[in-house]
Chain A
Amino acid sequence: MNSLTKTETIEKTTKPELKEKMSVKYLCAYFGDVQALSTVSMSIYKKRVLAIIGPSGCGKSTFIRCLNRMHEVVGGEYVGEIKLDDVDIKKFNSVILRRKVGMVFQKPNPFPTMSVFDNVVAGLKLNGFRNKSKLKEIAEDCLKKVALWDEVKDSLNKAGTSLSGGQQQRLCIARTIAVEPEVILMDEPASALDPISTAKIEELIFDLRKNYTIVIVTHNMQQAARVSDFTAFLYMGKLVEYNKTKKLFISPTEKRTEDYIAGRFG
């Protein structure tokens, strides 16, 4: 107990103050008649990593999809309130919202007809960015940020799909940060990858936290424990527990959280 309070004080002194970036209140999400989430409320803090854990089908993916309204693409709806910097996200144009709140998917999905370079700057080009030398600069910068530059600098014109799975996923993250989002949502970004690539992605998430607010959905509890500052445990569409990651993993207040973490169900 003593050591825990100690680490907390260290955290407080070395990191900027906690500020709320997004807030979710009484979120209920529906796909047709199926209710995927019921009355979920939580805060997402600026420049922190929030991990969402829970068994399959608990609504994790639905939750983060609601955060940039990607649920609309697959025909979902929600009631309740989600705010980004105190503005209701329903007030945003979905296109602009998604430029602020980017998303990385479970399976790497680089655009197959585009080269590595074109993949990175695809979002910028969509925004009408045409200055070639500037695009090159940004692409290099983004690829360096995701630690992919050294691996692909000689093959920028190769197809994005020719890279390995782990490289493709880092390429997709580079593509996402190229449009300078404020929040990055990651839907099980490493679950389709081998352990080495997974470790690279985790390192990357740790680095990205300096500049971005990150919400990551994961099946892997060790991963949640390693990369996140806060953890939320969802079960059957409900928020069971939300706390600082260390607290949640070391001394969960809810019995169900404890059982899940201990691997007794899910």
Chain B
Amino acid sequence: MVLKKLFSKTEEKFFHSNTLQNNERHLGDYIFHNVTRLFAFFVLGLMLVMFLELFIESLPSINKFGLSFITSSEWNPVKDKYGALPFIFGTVYSSILALMIALPLSIGVAVFLTEVAPTWLEQPVSILVELLAAIPSIVYGLFGIFVLAPFLKNVVEPFLQTHFGFLPFFKGSFYGFGMLSAALILSIMILPIITSISRDVMKAIPDSLREGAYALGATKWETIKIVLISSRSGVLGATLLGFGRAIGETMAVTMVIGNRPEISLSLFDAGHTMASVLANEFTEATSSLYVSSLMEIGLLFFLITIIINSIARLIVNNVTKKYGKIA
């Protein structure tokens, strides 16, 4: 009888906890609940404030240039004329180039780690790859300036020009600094994220699938092909995340890309990215329209990175969920 009473009491407490009985324990719960909620909304609020601030600050530039801000390639602080096309181009071009280099490498490493490597080797290699992401980007920049750029200038670029100079990608004079060095540095920097997510996605593919392939008489390579096909959407997500990182990378790129607002297909030419123009020019922005234009670049940049990263996250989450259920 006593037990029953006790039980019904606790039960009552449990079911009425939402209706705020002024009981000490409930008060604690209430405070905790709301404080954590506050923290969570604080993050959202922060993003909203940043967005609004960027938007308001860039209004003068938006009013003055309208759409031509995105389509014009003239960036002339002296005449107070601003067009962001070279930066958008530079950002996208350098990132795509970086992806073209990093993607095959990353998939190769991920396949090696999940399908080929013996267990004792898998862990150390994974950790090493992930450590690449821990190196500060200024160190990559330094490496780019003092090691990569001279090497490109003296060895790689002369070679490319003499043998493939007929292609538009290898025309013009070369200095070591430019798209090529930026793309190479970027590719090293995005390698870890693409590799580790691709690896996780491939690991999430259930073994029953590999066994199914083996039992049909598939060779190791054919089995890997089936794993690759099955993990393609996850790898796509990883690629987009890498793309997002490449777009947002500032320091190392600024140090090696040459910082000239030009639009050129040649990998030897200097370029400029949205991130590097912001890093370079915020101190020199004297006129209010100049500041406003930089703000508009910031706004565009903010939107692009958020969109790309959200899409990538969605894809990656979907894939892991799907295979999580099967496994």
A residues in contact (CB < 8 Å) with B: 68, 70, 73, 95-96, 98-99, 102-105, 107, 109-113, 122-123, 126-127, 172, 175-176, 179
Contact = CB atoms under 8 A, between A and B. Distances in A.
Q: How large is the interface on B (under 10, 10 to 19, 20 to 34, 35 or more residues)?
A: 20 to 34
Given A111-B226, A111-B230, A113-B230, A96 B217 contact: yes
Contact of B217 (A109, A111, A126, A172): A126
Given A98-B215, A105-B215, A73 B210 contact: yes
Given A104-B215, A122-B226, 6 more contacts: A70-B211, A103-B215, A109-B206, A112-B322, A126-B213, A176-B216
A73 B211 contact: yes
Contacts of B222: 126
Contacts of B219: 95
Main secondary structure of the interface of A (DSSP, over half): mixed
A109 B218 contact: no
Given A70-B211, A109-B209, A111-B209, A179 B230 contact: no
B46 interface: no
Given A109-B208, A112-B326, A113-B232, A73 B226 contact: no
Contacts of A105: 208, 211-212, 215
A244 B311 CA distance: 60
Interface of B: 206, 208-219, 222, 226, 229-230, 232, 322, 326
A70 B214 contact: yes
B190 to A, nearest CB: 26
B216 A113 contact: no
A73 B232 CA distance: 23
A172 B218 contact: no
Contacts of A123: 216-218
B215 A176 contact: yes
Contacts of A102: 215-217
Contacts of B217: 95-96, 98-99, 102, 123, 126-127, 179
Contacts of B230: 111-113
A109 B214 contact: no
